[in-house]
Amino acid sequence: MRLAQAPVTAKTAPTAVNPVKVIARAVTGLVNSVGSAIINAVQALEKFVTGPPILPAGSTVTVRTSTILLTNGQRVQANWYYPEPDPDTGAPPEQMILLQHGFFALAPMYSYTAANLAERTNSVVVTPTLSSNFFAGDDRWLGGAGMAAQIADLFTGNREALTQSAIAAGYATRYGLDPATAALPQKFALAGHSAGGGLVAGAAGDLATNGAAKDLVGVILLDGVPTGNTLRDALTKLDTYQADGGQYIPIRVIGAPPNLFNFISTENQTLSAARPGQFNGVVLSGGVHMDSMQGGNPIIQFAAQLLAGFPQPQNPPAVQDLMTDWMTAWFAGADEGPVPVPGTVIDIDTPKGTAHGRVI
Query: Residues 52-109: pLDDT tens digits?
Result: 999 999 999 999 999 999 999 999 999 999 999 999 999 999 999 999 999 999 999 9
3 is a domain residue: no
97 is a domain residue: yes
Q: 126 forms bridges with which residues in the sheet?
A: 80, 98
Residue numbers of the domain that contains 121: 38-359
25 is a domain residue: no
196 is a domain residue: yes
Among 1-10, 154-163, 281-290, 319-328, which stretch is predicted with the lowest mean pLDDT? 1-10
20 is a domain residue: no
pLDDT in tens, 187-221: 999 999 999 999 999 999 999 999 999 999 999 99
d(CA 304, CA 309): 8
Is residue 188 within 8 A of residue 95, CB to CB? The reply is yes
Q: Can you give the pLDDT at residue 6?
A: 56
2 is a domain residue: no
Domain of 225, CATH number, reads: 3.40.50.1820
Cβ atoms < 10 Å from Cβ of 325: 14
33 is a domain residue: no
Q: Can you give the pLDDT at residue 23?
A: 73
Is residue 125 within 8 A of residue 116, CB to CB? The reply is no
5 is a domain residue: no
Q: Number of folded domains in the chain?
A: 1
Model confidence, pTM: 0.92
Average pLDDT, the chain: 95
